[in-house]
Structure 1
Amino acid sequence: MANMLISSLAAATLCLVSPAQAQTWQNQEPAAETTHRATLDRFVADYARDPMAEPTRFGIEVDGHRFHVEPIGNSFELRDGFGGHEFFYFTMNRETLNLLDQGVWNGLTAMGAATSADVTPLDILHTDGFEEPADYVGLTRRLIGHFWTRGIPELTNFGMAHTRVVHGAPATALYYDAGIRSAVYEVPAGLGREQAPTMQVPFPRMIIFIGGEAEGEMGENAFTASAGQMLFSPPDVPLTFWNKSEDENLSFVWIMWGEAAQ
């Protein structure tokens, strides 16, 4: 499956934070006796209590070890192997599973990509013969968000320690569904106009500034915006903005919606 795409502002490669640094800050390898199954059992048990759970069978592969999640009535069970089923499955390594388990990343952040060709820590693949259902995009987005986030209510951590670099800027995905995408971005100080692409997309966007100050252009109109303001970006209107400050990070929430925002 094409990797999940997160739209963003910046296009330059940054040295401030890297995926490896974000992992090192909080990633702690469990004791040797803790197996992949024990970790996945925690996710499955939590998902069984989730009011947003999808009654869908799917697979999980960690470092080549395969399991699948089987819906049973109003609950779920983790089983070994793929059982010959035709379905989609998550694939990752142990380090990524640790980061998900510890809440450093959520599933959508782990799948964040600038293009569908990017290799991401968490991905979705298909077994032979699997055919995507009509609601595949919405189904998988909801599953990624809810299965890989534990707790009731679900809390998503964001901030620099919970980001991955996507489109050149550290980002944390918030929530995806069919027709809606949202993320938090942290644009480092000094990342100016030269690194900011002009984006023109066929869907509306809200940019909610929560820290720092931005400078930019929408069409032929120049603007500045700062924490406590929301910028509305209409469809098909060119927009570019950048961090105005040399000393302070720029933080904003980006919300995209509509049929074209798939």
Structure 2
Amino acid sequence: MRIKSIMLAGLAALAIPGVAMAQHNNQVESVEAISDAEIERAETILRDFVEDYRTDPMALDASFGIKLGQQWWSVEVKHKEVASPRGRLTDHSFGPHDVTLARGEPASPTWYFQLASLDVLEKIASGEVNAGTAAMQSFGSDRVGVETRDMDGFKSTSGDEGDMYLALSHFFTKGKPQITRFGRDNSLMTHGAQATALHMMKGFRIMHFSIGPQETANDDPRMEFGQMPNLFVVTSGKATLYSDDGPVEISKGMSIFIPQFVKHRIVNDGDEPLEGILVLYGDNSDFAFGTSYPSYLEDLNDFHRTYEFRKERSASK
């Protein structure tokens, strides 16, 4: 089974109180087996997610697995959307979708989520941490709260990874609107900063970041630049940004757009956290093997030149 490293570069393992963590590498240890009572509890939580997902306007067609210990579940989603007779989106109807949960591996090989423990699932269900944050990895070798993997005989496409992101953001989050708690108490340490995933999509991912006093983000030379452009929006604090153009002071009320492969190291030499929103454009897996972000944009724009804004929708779609 192939582990997928689809999360943003430099994001480390999930640090959740109560989950067994290796002392030196801060990685989540996955359980090998779970009891019958734990299986029943996990299934109750997953069925609550399924029930909520039936009326989620963001649900899309998908077929994926969920694994906890050696226990499998399969999820099937059939999106339903009914177009307005007047052709206006305000009259569209989204759902109820056909969403099923069954014990056992998916009938056909596909991608799946590997949950480290029931404790991780409980914390996702409570809203203490979200699934997107739990799935963040710096490297493919990281062991995190939620792994994204391919079953034997299946190789995810870029589109499949897009489906994974949407499931991370919406299947594991209940309610309309969906609420995510962010801040230093609902985050993980990565790149020398605390980070919380706010929303994940293929084209962009939105995070909250907090760099504490006397802390440095991207101090590791392997992580001081990446394949994706970054946009930092600073909402509080101040720090010094060291980039290709030298040092510059950044502070509240500033946005900083950093193109792909431009070095950026942030040193908080003040006495309060530097905090704000980080937007990551694109996906590492699309750019790690030869495709650049500008080339990706050219292909995306070519697609949109032929995309029809108006689409007929029936009750079956």
Corresponding position: 1:19 with 2:25: no
C-alpha RMSD of matched pairs (Å): 2.9
Larger RCO (CA within 8 A; separation ≥ 6): 1
Counting aligned pairs with the same residue, the percent is: 25
Native 8 Å contact 1:104 1:162 kept in 2: yes
Native 8 Å contact 2:132 2:168 kept in 1: yes
What SS does the aligned partner of 1:161 have?
helix
The count of residues paired between Structure 1 and Structure 2 equals 248
Matches within 5 A, 1:118-197: 118-133=142-157, 135-192=159-216, 195=219
Q: Which of 35, 46, 58 is 2:41 aligned to?
A: 35
Q: Which runs of 5+ in 2 are unaligned?
A: 21-36, 81-96, 287-317
Matches within 5 A, 1:172-251: 172-192=196-216, 195=219, 199-245=224-270, 247-251=271-275
Native 8 Å contact 2:6 2:283 kept in 1: no
Q: Which runs of 5+ in 1 are unaligned?
A: 25-31
Q: Which residue of structure 1 aligns with residue 140 of structure 2?
A: 116
Measured in 1, the distance between the counterparts of 2:9 and 2:207 equals 8
Larger mean CA deviation between 163-172 and 152-161 belongs to: 163-172
Q: Please, what TM-score do these two structures have when normalized by structure 2?
A: 0.69
Q: Identify if the C-alpha distance between structure 1 residues 75 and 124 changes in structure 2 by more than 3 Å, giving closer, same or farther.
A: same
Q: Which of 90, 101, 114 is 1:78 aligned to?
A: 101
Q: Which of 114, 125, 144 is 1:91 aligned to?
A: 114
Measured in 2, the distance between the counterparts of 1:194 and 1:126 equals 30
What SS does the aligned partner of 2:262 have?
coil
Q: Identify if the C-alpha distance between structure 1 residues 21 and 134 changes in structure 2 by more than 3 Å, giving closer, same or farther.
A: closer
Measured in 1, the distance between the counterparts of 2:252 and 2:128 equals 25
Q: Which residue of structure 2 aligns with residue 28 of structure 1?
A: none
Q: Deviations over 1:124-166 (max 9, x none)?
A: 2222222324512211111111111111111221111111222
Larger mean CA deviation between 196-205 and 78-87 belongs to: 196-205
Q: Which residue of structure 2 aligns with residue 27 of structure 1?
A: none
Decide which structure has the larger Cα Rg and report it: 2
Q: Identify if the C-alpha distance between structure 1 residues 164 and 259 changes in structure 2 by more than 3 Å, giving closer, same or farther.
A: closer
Native 8 Å contact 1:196 1:240 kept in 2: no
Measured in 2, the distance between the counterparts of 1:5 and 1:260 equals 7
Native 8 Å contact 1:70 1:77 kept in 2: yes
